[in-house]
A and B are shown apart, each in its own frame.
With several copies, the nearest count.
Chain A
Amino acid sequence: MKFGVVVFPGSNCDLDAYHLVKDVLGEQVDYIWHQEESVAGFDCIVLPGGFSYGDYLRCGAIARFSPVMKSVVSFAGGGGLVLGICNGFQVLLEAGLLPGALYRNINLQFRCLFTHLKVENLQTPFTVGLEAGRLLKIPIAHGEGNYYADPDTLRRMEKSGQIVFRYATANGEVTDTANPNGSLANIAGVCNEMKNVLGMMPHPERAGEAALGSEDGRLIFKSILKSWEGSR
């Protein structure tokens, strides 16, 4: 399986995603420069974290017009796996590949800390490898991760299992105190209806080695590998 990590001007977690896939998981990976017009040859596209175009105007707003995004959109339309992490999530929302929007954290501050995620849907390519009830300890680092969708959209998403991760306490309770940014219904990650596009604010690529405080992020990449194997 071959991963592609997109590099926008201002991406800065590209290296971390690359490192996890290549050095920790031993899988194939290449960078994809934002001006590439094709993503042919890749099996999973990762839109990494960072501050594409400085996050000026709105996070992800300018990056979504990069040449590479056209091919990412059609790749996703054909069922290809796309994972957007943090800024990558914001780009996916701006590009219309996922519903809703992300805006300023409720306390107006950038926040960097470990969070616990409750997995709400084990039937996505990104979560199939997880045990039921297993919480994931994965850090966040963002200033605009406050998820919003209008009530109708939210209802639809709940129904079709598009809410994938919610912020929870260390005991797995979805409460206000566990919510680091004001996100609607503690939402930390969502997918599209087809389930092949996932956006999440927490950084699984920062939780792939014991030395970094958690290995849970690896499980998401393992799931991707598993579902890809299964689909062949």
Chain B
Amino acid sequence: MWKAEIRVLLKKSVLDPQGQAVENALGSLGYGNVQDVRIGKYLEVSFDAGSRQEAEAQVREMSERLLTNPVIEDYTFELVEE
């Protein structure tokens, strides 16, 4: 059993209004030392696969077909064997 931990963020070239809003909110809560906030999605997908290689290939495929939109999003992932 594998667990893919996938992090999705908006591409750097795309404005991140949510990150911006949270950055401002942190500032007004007194965290003046905060420089930058980016907000995206975090997904955990558990699935069976024969090998790490197979598992990696499947995560890439799922991410590109469904889990992310490559026009605006980038993703990274880690695989944990369970």
Q: Which residues of A come within 8 Å of B, CB atoms?
A: 53-54, 56-58, 61-62, 65, 93-94, 100-101, 103-108, 146, 148-150, 182
Count A-B pairs with CB separation below 8 Å: 55
Please name the residue on chain B nearest to A96 by beta carbon: B71
Chain B residues near A103 (CB-CB < 8 A): 10, 14, 72
CB contacts under 8 Å to A, within B2-35, are 10, 13-15, 17-18, 21-22, 25, 28-29
- Distance (whole angstroms) from the CB of A85 to the closest CB of chain B: 20
Q: Are the CB atoms of A148 and B71 closer together than 8 Å?
A: yes
In the complex, 8 of the A-B residue pairs with CB atoms within 8 angstroms, ordered by the A residue number, are A56-B21, A57-B22, A61-B69, A100-B71, A101-B71, A104-B18, A106-B17, A148-B71
Please name the residue on chain B nearest to A57 by beta carbon: B22
Chain B residues near A94 (CB-CB < 8 A): 69
Please name the residue on chain A nearest to B41 by beta carbon: A57
Q: How far is the CA of A150 from the CA of B70 in the complex (A)?
A: 11
CB contacts under 8 Å to A, within B24-82, are 25, 28-29, 39, 66-67, 69, 71-72
Chain A residues near B28 (CB-CB < 8 A): 65
Q: How far is the CA of A100 from the CA of B69 in the complex (A)?
A: 10
Please name the residue on chain A nearest to B20 by beta carbon: A56
Please name the residue on chain A nearest to B11 by beta carbon: A150
Identify which of A56, A58, A150 contacts B13 (C-beta below 8 A): A150
Chain B residues near A54 (CB-CB < 8 A): 17-18, 21
Q: Are the CB atoms of B21 and A53 closer together than 8 Å?
A: yes
Identify which of B10, B18, B29, B71 contacts A108 (C-beta below 8 A): B18
Q: Are the CB atoms of A108 and B39 closer together than 8 Å?
A: no
